[in-house]
Amino acid sequence: MKSELAITIGLFLLIAAVPYASATTSVSGPSIVANESTFTVTVGTDLASVEAAHINVTHPSNLTFETLRADPGGSFDFTRSQTGGNATTGWVDIILAKSDGFTGTPTFAEIDFTATGIGNCTIDVVSSRVNGAADGTESLTVEVIALPGDVNGDGKVNYRDLVGVIDNWGESDTIYDVDGSGTVGYSDLTFIVDHWTD
């Protein structure tokens, strides 16, 4: 029994110590969008060789699903997809395959959403199986704001919003970090100028 235990522990340590190739299915897109606007997120993988994939993505109800372009790069021979959901959550399911495999890092899908409610919302790769094995997954959090650059919430983007950025320079407050870079700084000034309303 002792030797069996030693073998078991030894095997466990060996498996734990051996590095394995890990891949991640990711979803990327804008970090901040204006309410009522339509934007695109991209679902991809960093795996360099894909024969078959099955990806399931969910989104909250304050994002309205618009269109799905599965395999936008034409990397696969076989593509099917379905969408569905209920009052609180929608989902997109995609399957892809190629008889002789695809070498490269394919884009699995592009999905268009329209923002229909203010606040943070998360687009989640719930599951991804690539070449028959579970892939790592990531999610994307999008902040839906009433009007991009309107940091004081008066419905206009103007000098007063520039003052808000200047007065909170170097902070990480998401209200004044209008470009979502993580800090309040110069790029927020140019973001406001680019979204100027009066």
**Using CB under 5 A as the criterion, which residues of the chain lie in contact with Ca ion when the complex forms?**
150, 152, 154, 156, 161, 177, 179, 181, 188
Residue number with CB closer to Ca ion (66 or 194): 194
Residue number with CB closer to Ca ion (55 or 189): 189
Token pair in block for residue 3: 């030797």
Tell me if 126 sits within 8 A of 12, measured CB to CB: no
Least Å from the CB of residue 194 to Ca ion: 13
Residue number with CB closer to Ca ion (110 or 161): 161
Least Å from the CB of residue 124 to Ca ion: 25
Least Å from the CB of residue 52 to Ca ion: 41
Give dist(CA 27, CA 135) in Å, integer.
Answer: 13
Give dist(CA 184, CA 190) in Å, integer.
Answer: 12
Residue number with CB closer to Ca ion (139 or 190): 190
Residue number with CB closer to Ca ion (127 or 181): 181
Residue number with CB closer to Ca ion (66 or 173): 173
Torsions phi, psi for 130 (to 5 deg): -120, 130
Q: Give all strands (DSSP E) within 78-184, no chain letters.
A: 78-85, 89-103, 107-115, 119-130, 133-134, 136-137, 139-145
First-to-last C-alpha distance (Å) of the chain: 81
Dihedral of alpha carbons 126, 130, 132, 133, sign: negative
Least Å from the CB of residue 37 to Ca ion: 18
Least Å from the CB of residue 168 to Ca ion: 10
CA 51 to chain centre: 23
Name which of 21, 60, 24 is nearest 44 in CA terms: 24
Give residue number: closest CB to Ca ion: 181
Least Å from the CB of residue 136 to Ca ion: 29
